[in-house]
Amino acid sequence: MSSLNLDDFTDLIERPDGGVRRDAEARRERQIVPPGALGRLDELGEWLAAAQSAVPVRPIEHPRAVLFAGDHGVAGLGVSARPAGTADQLVRAVLEGASPAAVLARRLGVPVRVVDMALDCDPQELPAEVAGHRVRRGSGRIDVEDALTLEEAEAAFLAGVAVADEEADSGTDLVVLGDVSVGGTTAAAVLVAALCGTDASVVTGRGGRPIDDLAWMRKCAAVRDALRRARPVLGDQLQLLAVVGGADLAAMTGFLLQSAVRKMPVILDGVVSAACALVGQRVAFRAPDWWLAGQNSGEPAQAKALDRMALEPLLDHGVTVGEGAGALLALPLVQAAAALSAELPETPTPEPEPETDPETDPETEVSDQNE
């Protein structure tokens, strides 16, 4: 039995400041560009004002990409285009600056933090700051066994909470959240199917590196079998993450919820972060108000999860590579919204017409003389 009470997050998480948002809307109506002319940038600016509890909006000066990493045993079924147990190679590419996310982050000036939760490699092979939160080596094969023990799920969740606290305490003002995993999209599809009450085929996509039809059918079967194991524990979100999630997904869920507690906005990347956000919504219904959907990856489970949370993606580029790459592409849009909201001048208030005294008004005097 876990000692962690997720219900506490319901009381701890508040919505972004509605009064401040109304002030931001009023300020926007006074600016020289007509309201609505900037499209979703208006909405983003007002959302940021509420999240920051500040009008005008402060610029996004300290964003950070946080990537949770792990291997999933279900990848051994051939449900991924990558061999099982090779997520550590993806992590090394990020650390060496050779991955898509690393290139984008470097271009945008965003530091990247990778957190190993369950990579299938010797932790000594990775920097200590990467492997310091690891819970176990790989997650279980969710179609036939639990991904984690309940104690491991709790440890992973609390690791995510701790990482969120570290980021908030260090001054991070916006997080780009992503995953580095092999088999993670299969676990994500199971979580979304379980929480939305849908069948495996409705949520099963092709993954980060698109798989062929045969691999897709294997993935559907794995999701179906894992879904049978997930349904009996739907009432306990930590147990759900233990049964069909994984250490990286449990950590991301804890990170998302604690970020909302700390009032630190988060941009979600793809299907894995969306699935964790959906679990977080089930824990605390106000939490999604602190999150943005960075992009539409084209994964059906992501679309299902975002629709359930009423989050509309900022971009629709179909980026499936993971690692937060799609969300990084959305970051300049959010920064632009902040700049426009804060820096556009207001329309000058017209000078009132001076009141005239009929006794001293020259026109009145001329009129009197003519009479």
Positions annotated as catalytic residues are 323
- Cα separation, 113 vs 87, in Å, equals 16
Place of tokens 């990778």: 114
Other beta carbons within 10 Å of 12: 15
Task: Tell me the backbone φ, ψ of residue 148, rounded to 5 degrees.
Answer: -145, 160
- Cα separation, 242 vs 229, in Å, equals 11
Q: At what angle do helices 325-343 and 40-52 cross, to 10 degrees?
A: 80
Q: Are 246 and 184 in contact (CB under 8 A)?
A: yes
Task: Tell me the backbone φ, ψ of residue 72, rounded to 5 degrees.
Answer: -120, 130
Q: Is 69 helix (H, G, I), strand (E, B) or coil?
A: strand
Query: Which DSSP category does 287 fall into?
Result: G
- Cα separation, 3 vs 15, in Å, equals 27
Estimate to the nearest angstrom the gap between the alpha carbon of 153 and the chain centroid.
20
Estimate to the nearest angstrom the gap between the alpha carbon of 47 and the chain centroid.
15
Q: Are 172 and 64 in contact (CB under 8 A)?
A: yes
The enclosing H or E element of 268 equals: strand 266-268
> What is the token pair recorded at 64?
């950070």
C-alpha to C-alpha distances, 347 to 28, 34, 49, 147, 155, nearest whole angstrom:
10, 10, 20, 58, 54
Q: CA angle, 160 as apex, 133 and 178 as ends, to 5°?
A: 100
- Cα separation, 279 vs 255, in Å, equals 12
User: Positive or negative CA dihedral for 338, 291, 173, 92?
Assistant: negative
C-alpha to C-alpha distances, 237 to 46, 79, 150, 279, 318, nearest whole angstrom:
32, 25, 11, 7, 29
